[in-house]
């Protein structure tokens, strides 16, 4: 196998890849409820040489974060059964344990290469206008208030297609290849459970990436060394006080709404840090039962971010200090629950250089950027960190694509030509790494 050889998709294969993306787009599912999506992936890979680890087999159950309520899980499981997901699959995914790992062990000496593809959607109502391309082409979301508005439908399709292609050429391969189809990336909730399952132990090379992201990057542009990931923590905070009649005996109540409001204002006043950038956002605040009752409950959804994990930890400590101070001031109780977390991370320049070498031979990539600043958060960083601490190398790739609107917008869509670029980049990088390993 030549170190510089490349494999390119035929027009027919590219059309099949696009069709697969559109199938996933039409039936989106939120994090920890990707029952149909997981089943579709498993069905596509079932007759291949990959060993499949589905649901509970791919996750450390107790390490999951940001789970739906038990009532929501029951509702979503009933929905999936009604769609046609068989009972044996539902048992493997019971209680919101979605996602899977596909492992191809060639039995020959070689590197362990792992790749990650996220599979979840967002709680967004997709644009229903006829000039929205998925509507015009007949593959828009069939579900109300759920949409693939971040490109994970394309990520999933690329991962499935990659597994099928690797199976076709398995006799040429060596070592081990692990493909992770990760649930619950949105809210940075799912990667930790896969990491703690041990799926990334003793991995030599780790690759993942994203369609779009950096504004202005067009189809045919690829970034091979992504940095600037912000470490982040997501919190649900509940203040509990005592209700009382607001007119007759207001002094008998303990106002949870005022505690929450005070906390919200002071959280946004946390001092910036001299070591780097920090962020905080109070995203929601819900409280009260009526104008004539002292509010006994208030709930907030808050996130912290930091340029480094240490800076994010600083913001999280300040958050705890402030919410407990506000609770004390209004004589109410407060609890905070961690709902998601991601670390900071950087791509390995040496692995990125391998990808750059591969892309020099691509007929569909015209510009290669050796560095890109993400400026946001991604829980793939937990996987990258795990691999690097084990002595392996990790890289996060960005595949430029013309967008109709930005990520997480109801009219979001992307140039599907980027799917081919992502697929060929991953595949040819795998072949290059295996060739280098044998040299």
Res. 7: pLDDT tops 90: no
| pLDDT at residue 3 in the model | 40
Res. 438: pLDDT tops 60: no
| Average pLDDT for the chain | 95
- Cα dihedral sign, 414-415-420-421: negative
Over pLDDT 90: what percentage of the chain?
A: 91
| pLDDT at residue 131 in the model | 95
CA distance 217 to 189: 28
CATH classification for the domain delimited by 11-229+343-438, as one of 3.40.630.10, 3.20.20.70, 3.40.50.1820, 3.40.50.300: 3.40.630.10
11-229+343-438 and 232-341 in the same fold: no
Could you tell me the pLDDT band of residue 236, with boundaries at 50, 70 and 90?
Answer: very high
Res. 123: pLDDT tops 50: yes
| pLDDT at residue 9 in the model | 87
Angle at 246 (CA atoms; ends 243, 248), nearest 5 degrees: 110
CA distance 413 to 315: 34
Nearest to residue 137, comparing CAs of 14, 26, 12, 13? 26
CA distance 326 to 421: 51
Nearest to residue 186, comparing CAs of 232, 235, 120, 280? 120
| pLDDT at residue 436 in the model | 63
Res. 256: pLDDT tops 90: yes
Overall residue count recorded for the chain in this entry: 439
The region of weakest confidence among 1-15, 70-84, 145-159, 381-395 is 1-15
Segment (H or E) for 234: strand 231-240
Burial category of 313 from C-beta neighbours within 10 Å (exposed 0-12, middle 13-18, buried 19 and up): middle
CATH number of 232-341: 3.30.70.360
| pLDDT at residue 216 in the model | 73
Tell me the Ramachandran region of residue 216: left when phi exceeds 0, alpha when psi lies from -120 to 50, beta otherwise: left
Could you tell me the pLDDT band of residue 163, with boundaries at 50, 70 and 90?
Answer: very high
Three-state SS at 373: strand
Three-state SS at 293: strand
Res. 213: pLDDT tops 90: no
Q: What is the mean pLDDT of residues 65-81?
A: 97
Q: What is the mean pLDDT of residues 185-204?
A: 96
Look at the block and give the residue holding tokens 């959607």: 121
Domain ranges of the chain: 11-229+343-438, 232-341
Res. 259: pLDDT tops 60: yes
Tell me the Ramachandran region of residue 202: left when phi exceeds 0, alpha when psi lies from -120 to 50, beta otherwise: left
| pLDDT at residue 92 in the model | 98
Q: What is the mean pLDDT of residues 264-271?
A: 97
Res. 1: pLDDT tops 70: no
Res. 439: pLDDT tops 60: no
Q: What is the mean pLDDT of residues 146-167?
A: 98
| pLDDT at residue 78 in the model | 98
Provide the b/e sequence for 223-239 (b: ≥16 CB within 10 Å).
bbbbbebbbbbbbbbbb
Over pLDDT 70: what percentage of the chain?
A: 98
Res. 70: pLDDT tops 90: yes
């Amino acid at each position: 196998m030549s170190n510089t050889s490349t494999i390119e998709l035929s027009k027919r294969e590219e059309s099949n890849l696009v069709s697969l993306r559109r199938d996933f787009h039409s039936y989106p599912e939120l994090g920890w409820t990707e029952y149909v999506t997981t089943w579709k992936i498993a069905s596509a890979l079932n007759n291949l040489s990959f060993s499949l680890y589905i649901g509970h087999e791919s996750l450390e159950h107790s390490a999951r974060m940001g789970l739906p309520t038990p009532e929501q899980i029951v509702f979503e499981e009933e929905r999936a059964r009604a769609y046609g997901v068989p009972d044996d699959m539902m048992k493997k995914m019971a209680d919101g344990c979605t996602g899977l790992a596909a492992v191809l062990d060639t039995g020959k000496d070689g590197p362990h290469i792992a790749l990650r593809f996220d599979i979840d959607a967002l709680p967004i109502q997709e644009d229903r206008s006829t000039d929205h391309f998925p509507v015009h082409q007949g593959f828009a979301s069939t579900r109300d208030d759920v949409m693939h508005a971040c490109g994970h439908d394309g990520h999933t399709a690329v991962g499935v297609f990659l597994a099928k292609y690797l199976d076709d050429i398995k006799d040429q391969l060596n070592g081990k290849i692990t493909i992770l189809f990760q649930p619950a990336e949105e809210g940075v909730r799912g990667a930790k459970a896969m990491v703690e399952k041990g799926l990334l132990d003793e991995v030599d090379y780790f690759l993942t990436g994203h369609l779009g992201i950096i504004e202005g990057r067009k189809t045919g542009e690829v970034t091979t060394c992504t940095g600037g990931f912000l470490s982040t923590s997501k919190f649900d905070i509940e203040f509990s006080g005592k209700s009382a009649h607001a007119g007759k005996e207001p002094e008998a109540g303990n106002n949870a709404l005022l505690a929450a409001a005070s906390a919200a204002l002071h959280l946004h006043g946390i001092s910036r840090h001299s070591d780097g950038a920090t962020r905080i956002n109070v995203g929601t605040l819900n409280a009260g039962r009526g104008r004539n009752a002292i509010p006994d409950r208030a709930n907030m959804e808050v996130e912290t971010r930091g340029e480094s994990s240490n800076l994010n930890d600083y913001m999280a400590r300040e958050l705890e200090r402030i919410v407990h101070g506000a609770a004390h001031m209004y004589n109410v109780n407060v609890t905070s629950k961690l709902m998601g977390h991601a670390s900071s991370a950087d791509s390995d320049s040496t692995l990125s250089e391998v990808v750059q070498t591969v892309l020099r031979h691509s007929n569909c990539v015209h510009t290669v950027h050796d560095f890109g600043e993400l400026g946001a958060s991604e829980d793939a960083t937990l996987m990258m960190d795990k691999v690097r601490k084990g002595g392996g190398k990790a890289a996060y790739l960005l595949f430029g694509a013309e967008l109709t609107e930005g990520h997480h917008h109801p009219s979001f869509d992307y140039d599907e030509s980027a799917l081919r670029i992502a697929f060929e980049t991953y595949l040819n990088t795998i072949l290059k790494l295996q060739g280098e390993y044998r040299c």
